Amino acid sequence: MKNILLSTIVLVGLCAISNAQSLDTTFGTNGTITHTGIGNYFDATELPDGSVILSGDYETSSVSKAVVTKLKPDGSLDTSFGSGGKYVIDQFSDVNYYEAFSKAILQPDGKLVLLYGAEYDNGIDEETISFRMMRLNSNGSVDNSFLGYSAQNVGEDDYPYGIFRLQSGKILMYGENYIMRFNENGTLDTTYANNGIRNIAFDIDELNIIGSAIYLEDYTGKRLVRLDDESSSNTKTYNLPENSSYYFQGNNIYVHSYVNFSEITKLDFNFDPVSTYGNNGKASFSEYLGYNFVFQSQGSILSRSYITNYDQNGNILSEDLAYRRINPDGTPDSTFGTAGVYKINILKNAPYDYYSDDYVHSNGKLYHLFYDKDWENNNIYLKRSNLPNEILVTENVAVTKEIRIIQNPVRENLILNGNLRNAKIYDMSGKETGISFEGKQTSVERLKTGAYIINAVSDSGKQINMKFIKK
């Protein structure tokens, strides 16, 4: 029976679960790598070899620069990139200019396309932006064959928000009321729309891509608008709930509403609810999830919130980064951390703020990027956490209609709505727990907190594999 169960697990893509989430103390010095004088705020782009490109800015009260930095897979600075690990633009000596790079876009040949911007703001005159699209070779040198688009001293309504690479290899750039398309060499694609520019009748806040489809957030209308492609006039809309955020992950869209605690709706590319997620596409929770989501590779969600710890006099002692995990099927992972919460404690006297930019690396670990409290130091502090693998087992859709667990997670008694025969309970490694039963229920009181599999046969003779969580 054990071999049968394990073969079933392989078929549905189950990875073994481990309760090993913790700060990785083998990383750097006691779990932290400090990079001095790197910069302030960054977006991360992982490369195929596990290296990470950090693009952002370097700023003090007297200096502003745009910076691209490369880290090796082990988190150390790759000094072969650019000049000593960095590529820097310091175009303006005027302290009223703020210079920065957007998130890097990786091309198949290993080159990096970036949007450089310089914003002038002295607090008196109207803000203006100068920007250009450029490309770096994989070694951090400028690719002069890329004839990137540029504009000088444009107003707030005209500056770009970001860039995307299309499946065709062409590049989209978007701003408040427009989309522009560029050829692979960086020149404006004048065959697109009106000489390369398509005007949009509403205020765009974000643009995302799934396949060839383009998704625009209508900021004023509080909706997502889907176009079949960047040239299409065919639209489909999805009205966003009040007080909500959304995330694009793979071919799906996750909408997080936090009006009544937390509710996550999983949509497919066409805005239709994914019926296998939660209850017909909606997963509801009896507590607030954090507003910041990052995703593991198979769709588990890590939500981040913050908990302030006080002493008896009301003074702040520390801050906790608190993470909860939602399984790919929309159920909370009660085995994650302690009682479903994994915390990273940041002491009050730590040199960095408790806020972090998080990303899940292809090695499966969660990386936390902290910034110096004294922002003029431009130091960054990189930590990483071990994570348990994702639970991908879900009930067979055809069987689900026949046999259901009445209440899941389970505390003392496992209760079903129908009879099972030859039922045995296994842990997630495939090891028998010693619990077997016939009928509709059995005691699971002696089981440790965690996830388990029921392997059984229904009255109709169907093989059944069902997952449950023991609290």
d(CA 404, CA 400): 6
- Position 461 scores a pLDDT of 66
Please report the DSSP string for 313-380 in residue order: TS-EEEEEEEEEEE-TTS-B-TTSTBTTBEEEEEETT-SEEEEEEEEE-TTSPEEEEEEESSGGG--E
- Bridge partners of residue 36, in order along the sequence: none
pTM over 0.85: no
Instruction: Note the CATH number of domain 397-470.
Output: 2.60.40
- Position 11 scores a pLDDT of 24
The β-bridge relationship of strands 86-89 and 64-71 is antiparallel
Q: Which of left, alpha, beta for 11 (phi over 0: left; psi -120 to 50: alpha)? A: alpha
d(CA 149, CA 260): 46
Residue of 292, 221, 226, 231 whose CA lies nearest to 256? 292
CB-neighbour burial class of residue 349 (10 A; exposed 0-12, middle 13-18, buried 19+) = exposed
- Position 2 scores a pLDDT of 28
d(CA 303, CA 293): 5
The residue extents of the domains of the chain are: 23-295+349-386, 397-470
- Position 291 scores a pLDDT of 83
- Position 269 scores a pLDDT of 94
> Same fold for the domain at 23-295+349-386 and the one at 397-470?
no
- Bridge partners of residue 453, in order along the sequence: 426, 467
The answer, yes or no, to whether the previous bond of 409 is cis (omega within 30 of 0) is yes
What H or E segment, with its residue span, contains residue 10?
Answer: helix 2-11
Give per-10-residue mean pLDDT for the chain (471 aa).
27 37 90 93 91 93 92 95 95 86 94 92 79 95 93 80 93 95 95 96 95 94 96 96 93 91 93 93 90 90 92 90 93 90 92 90 92 92 90 45 76 86 77 84 87 79 76 79
23-295+349-386 CATH, one of 2.60.40, 3.40.1000, 2.130.10, 3.40.50? 2.130.10
- Position 429 scores a pLDDT of 58
Please report the DSSP string for 256-320 in residue order: EE-SSSEEEEEE-TTS-B-TTTTBTTEEEESSPPPSEEEE-TTS-EEEEEEEEEE-TTS-EEEEE
